[in-house]
Amino acid sequence: YTIFPDGAMEYGWWIALIGVIAIVYAAFVAMSQADLKRLIAYSSVSHMGFVMLGMAALTVEGSAGALFQMFSHGIISALLFLMAGVLYDRTGDRMIANYSGLATKMPWYSVAVIISFFAALGLPGFSGFIAEFLVLVGAFDGAINGSIVDVFMPILGLLGLVLGAAYFLWTIQRMFFGNYWVKEESWQLPDLNARELIMIIPLVILALLFGIFPGLLLDLANESVMGFVEYVNIQGELNLEVIKAVVR
């Protein structure tokens, strides 16, 4: 973006479109997954689409949201994959259909998974909500006051959020509620141990901390984000004028 600001402006619409496709398509693919780890992986692809959409809008809110999303997702995706790893460590199996009613057998693990899923789907109070909210505000602002993105793009982004809530909540319902059942009776499913709690608790705290106090990151990045957006918009326009003059 800073090396080719003219390209960022000229092809910003296509970058935003690819981001929106990633948000929606990856959400549908995640919804169809039978493997817990694959579901989490495709949810990550969907969340990274918000980064592209926020960057493409070339607004302060959108760029700040894209930055916050990258930071937030680093925390939340680590927590999600850790949750999948805990279950796989006990059974060697990640298939969602092979588990039911885990809340009765592993209550603390179930609470940790529900918290991580709520953080990933962008529930208010978690860092993911701040990131996605800023991206969508920036994209709507860019669609109304700018010339790069269209209004349908943040609207489809909202659809991606709804789909994300659907597949995460559906997974919670299938795996953790109802009567306890697992595919193999020999599977031992002890609850979280001290080593796992030491890894999980700091990530949960960070997701909550930056969700409640987003200024801890945004205040540090604000000046840089504003300078970035101003540079790309101004220099991009100048470069495009020069390019058009040369082509003529």
Asked if the model's pLDDT at residue 117 lies above 80, the reply is yes
Residue with tokens 């990640």: 94
Q: How far apart are CA 7 and CA 15, in angstroms?
A: 10
The token pair that represents 224 in the structure block: 């840089």
**Taking a C-beta distance cutoff of 8 angstroms, is the pair 225, 66 a contact?**
no
Backbone angles phi, psi at 229, to 5 degrees: -65, -45
**Taking a C-beta distance cutoff of 8 angstroms, is the pair 166, 31 a contact?**
yes
The token pair that represents 193 in the structure block: 């141990």
Q: How far apart are CA 78 and CA 210, in angstroms?
A: 15
Asked if the model's pLDDT at residue 47 lies above 90, the reply is yes
- pLDDT for 116 equals 95
Q: H helices of 177-214, where?
A: 194-212
- pLDDT for 21 equals 96
pLDDT tier for residue 247 given thresholds of 50, 70 and 90: confident
pLDDT tier for residue 245 given thresholds of 50, 70 and 90: confident
Backbone angles phi, psi at 181, to 5 degrees: -160, 135
- pLDDT for 186 equals 85
Of 41, 128, 24, residue with least CA distance to 76: 128
Q: H helices of 100-126, where?
A: 102-105, 107-120
Backbone angles phi, psi at 197, to 5 degrees: -65, -35
What is the pairing mode between strands 99-100 and 181-182?
Answer: antiparallel
* Residue environment code for 107-134, b if the CB has 16+ CB neighbours within 10 A, otherwise e: eebbebbbbbbbbbbbeeebbbbbbbbb
**DSSP code for 179:** S
Q: How far apart are CA 140 and CA 152, in angstroms?
A: 9
Q: How far apart are CA 74 and CA 187, in angstroms?
A: 31
Q: How far apart are CA 17 and CA 2, in angstroms?
A: 20
pLDDT tier for residue 106 given thresholds of 50, 70 and 90: very high
